[in-house]
């Protein structure tokens, strides 16, 4: 069995977050770039299963700038077997439709039985990439799983709903996304760090994948971007017997209810 894990380099959540007001893109140099924490949990799930089952290979897949190679090496140290990196200037500012197309093309190229990703990235917070990939590769999908059980033929997990918890199952091949309720990722040991330096890491361009970023539609079009207004002092409501009514009017006026 081959398990592909989608990993992503993102700006550190504890660092500065800024948008370029000309391009509308995140200024990724504003803070350190790290492995998205939710995808580290996906890696942990895959590697843990590989350690408990025979014949399981774990591969990492990402698209991103040159700096993502360092992230991949660090993630390989957790126990994955190889990595695949799409690196192309045409991907600068790629929207979710292009991202899903590119990632699906890599997955089809390398072949896999199961794809695991985080449910929502900490930078884009789109939450639809796993489903879009499943549609493109013709696989079943199960998203936002709080637990994950993998067998040779299926994957099962629990998903929280408004009314409780449901158990979902998909036959392989499948694409799943996991939530932060999965276990934390392990810290790589010295042996894993040294081994990661020699593990295969393949790099692809859009041409390698047969993709023209401008050819297909739809593609997002940025109309405008503005800086968020500075925070102002809050409005105080003094209770003179009508505080509840005035609060409700305030929330309605601000379109908060």
Residue 244 lies in a domain: no
Instruction: Report pLDDT for 16.
Output: 67
CATH of the domain at 78: 3.40.50.620
Our count of domains for the chain comes to 1
Q: Measured between alpha carbons, how far is 129 from 119 in angstroms, rounded to an integer?
A: 8
- Structure token pair of residue 3: 């398990």
Where would I find the beta strands (DSSP E) of 65-209? 82-86, 114-118, 140-145, 149-150, 154-161, 164-171, 174-178, 201-204
Q: Give the max Cα distance, the chain.
A: 72
- DSSP 8-state class, residue 25: -
Compare 23 and 74 and report the one with higher pLDDT.
Answer: 74
pLDDT for the residue numbered 12: 74
pTM across the whole model:
0.82
Res 20: pLDDT: 72
pLDDT tens for 36-67 read 888 999 999 999 999 999 999 999 999 988 99
Structural tokens at position 137:
């590769």
The answer as to whether 100 is a domain residue is: yes
Whole-number mean pLDDT of the chain? Answer: 87
What pLDDT digit, counting tens, does each position of 173-218 carry? 999 999 999 988 888 888 889 999 999 999 999 999 998 877 765 5
In a domain, 8, yes or no: yes
- Residue 162 forms part of a structural domain: yes
Stated as kind and residue range, the H or E segment containing 74 is helix 68-76
Assess if residue 26 is contained within a domain: yes
Q: Is the pLDDT of residue 239 over 90?
A: no
pLDDT digits (tens, 9 = 90+) for 109-129: 999 999 999 998 877 778 899
Enter the tokens of residue 123: 């930078």
pLDDT at residue 23 is higher than 70: no
Count of residues making up the chain: 257
Host domain of residue 16? 2-209
Q: Has residue 214 been placed in a domain?
A: no
In a domain, 25, yes or no: yes
Rounded average pLDDT over 146-162: 92
The verdict on residue 254 lying in a domain is no
Q: Where are the beta strands (DSSP E) in 105-242?
A: 114-118, 140-145, 149-150, 154-161, 164-171, 174-178, 201-204
């Amino acid at each position: 069995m081959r398990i592909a894990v989608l990993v992503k380099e993102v700006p550190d959540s504890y660092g500065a977050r800024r948008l370029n007001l000309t391009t509308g893109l995140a200024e990724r140099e504003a803070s350190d770039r790290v492995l998205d924490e939710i995808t580290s949990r996906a890696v942990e799930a895959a590697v843990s299963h590989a350690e408990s089952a025979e014949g399981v290979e774990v591969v990492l897949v990402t698209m991103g700038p040159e700096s993502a190679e360092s992230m991949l090496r660090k993630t390989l140290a957790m126990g994955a077997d190889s990595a695949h990196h799409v690196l192309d200037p045409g991907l600068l500012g790629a929207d979710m439709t292009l991202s899903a197309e590119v990632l699906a093309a890599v997955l089809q190229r390398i072949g896999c039985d199961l794809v695991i990703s985080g449910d929502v990235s900490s930078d884009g917070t789109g939450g639809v990439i796993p489903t879009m990939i499943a549609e493109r590769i013709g696989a079943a999908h199960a998203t936002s799983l709080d637990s994950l059980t993998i067998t040779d033929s299926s994957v099962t997990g629990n998903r929280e709903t408004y009314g409780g918890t449901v158990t979902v199952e998909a036959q392989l091949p499948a694409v799943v996304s996991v939530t932060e309720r999965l276990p934390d990722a392990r810290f790589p040991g010295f042996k894993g760090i040294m081994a990661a330096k020699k593990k295969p890491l393949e790099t692809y361009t859009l041409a390698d994948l047969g993709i023209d970023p401008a050819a297909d539609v739809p593609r997002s079009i940025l109309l405008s971007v503005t800086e968020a207004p500075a925070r102002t002092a809050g409005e105080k409501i003094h209770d003179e017997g009508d505080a509840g009514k005035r609060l409700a009017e305030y929330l309605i006026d601000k379109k908060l209810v």
